[in-house]
Amino acid sequence: MNRYEILDRLGDGAYGEVLKARNLKTNEVVAIKKLKMLFPTWEECLQLRELKSLKVLRHDNIIQLKEVIRDKAELYFVFEYMDTSLFAWMRKNNAKEPQIRTIMSQLFSGLAYMHKHGFFHRDIKPENCLCSSGIEVLKVADLGQAREIRSRPPFTDYVSTRWYRSPELLLRSTTYNSPIDLWACGCIMAELFLGKPLFAGSSEADQMCRICGILGTPTKESWPEGVTMVSQMQFKFPKCNPVPLKMAIPNASPAAIQLMVDLLHCAGTAVSLLHARHSAVWGAGCQANCTPDDGQRRQKGLHLGSRTAQEAVCDNPLVGLGQRLQRQSEPTTGGIWMCPNPKTAA
């Protein structure tokens, strides 16, 4: 650590503190994450999920790990420095749709690469999206909760920050997967339009009530697993009719509304959302960025044995409340669970 001069303290979290520092040899400004846990050996360091994922994920929209330092059992991660976070930027700016398009396309690009390479983040929120002061560049950060898509459940049920937590996480599912990242993206995108969270619950129960207040009440027919989990928790879904998302977010364009609907449906992967019908409007220029740079074969989803990630997601009964309800909904309901119009989906 004697190669670095500490300039400022940027923040503190459950796992450690983040410092702004300068490399004394190159004058490069960096961000250094000092972990609270002590690591007597390098072998223990190499087992950290964050380090495992960052060693694999090298992408323009994922924060770059520059160096790992172990000094007297203290562990430091040296990252590239970013001006601010999306959370801080939103507190000072009212985002316009062109800016939201820039933000979300970069977020999708980073997540698409992450998912294609076998990881899902599990804690997507504005604080974990670092960006330049003018929002030209955005990078997904803080991969401390990241897990491999191939990992076998059960997973920790308490992950993600409440306002960006998917319904299956609120109901303590332990068999979730990468669609929870897409739900969080939908919540972030809505927050960019509204200037406030779409679902700002004060507790897990209140969070679920707010979700049902817009998305409608799930039933035994639409989401049997969710109803079963609710009964086990001695909780009842509130009885609510779905509200068209356009009413909740009136300043969003039809294309943006449809994308948020798809995100809250978990209707696809980050890759497919970039490359399908939204790419012309929301993901232009991102296709090349989420292509693996290590010569791996190109495919629509991550291979899990003989199946793609999308096929594996569809086989999982708990991958998303929206996806289950989407299959049961009729286009005439006008709510967010409405199936996409095939004429506009092309």
Binding residues: 34
| Distance (Å, whole) CA 64 – CA 58 | 7
Binding residues for ATP: 34
CA dist 31 → 4, 136, 165, 304 (Å): 10, 19, 27, 35
Q: Given phi > 0 = left and psi -120 to 50 = alpha, else beta, which region is 61? A: alpha
CA dist 174 → 66, 143, 197, 218 (Å): 33, 19, 25, 20
| Structure tokens belonging to residue 286 | 């991102």
* Contact by Cβ (8 Å): 81, 20: yes
For the four alpha carbons of 289, 295, 300 and 305, in that order, the dihedral sign comes to: negative
Tell me, what DSSP letter sits at residue 64?
Answer: P
Contacts of 294 by beta carbon, 8 Å cutoff, 6+ apart:
none
For the chain, list the strands marked E by DSSP: 4-12, 16-23, 29-38, 65-71, 74-80, 84-85, 119-120, 129-131, 138-140, 147-148, 303-304, 307-308
The amino acid at residue 59 is H
| Distance (Å, whole) CA 243 – CA 337 | 9
The catalytic residues are 123
Tell me, what DSSP letter sits at residue 126?
Answer: G
Q: Is 91 exposed, middle or buried (0-12, 13-18, 19+ CB in 10 A)?
A: exposed
Contacts of 118 by beta carbon, 8 Å cutoff, 6+ apart:
56, 148, 149, 150, 302
| Distance (Å, whole) CA 100 – CA 192 | 7
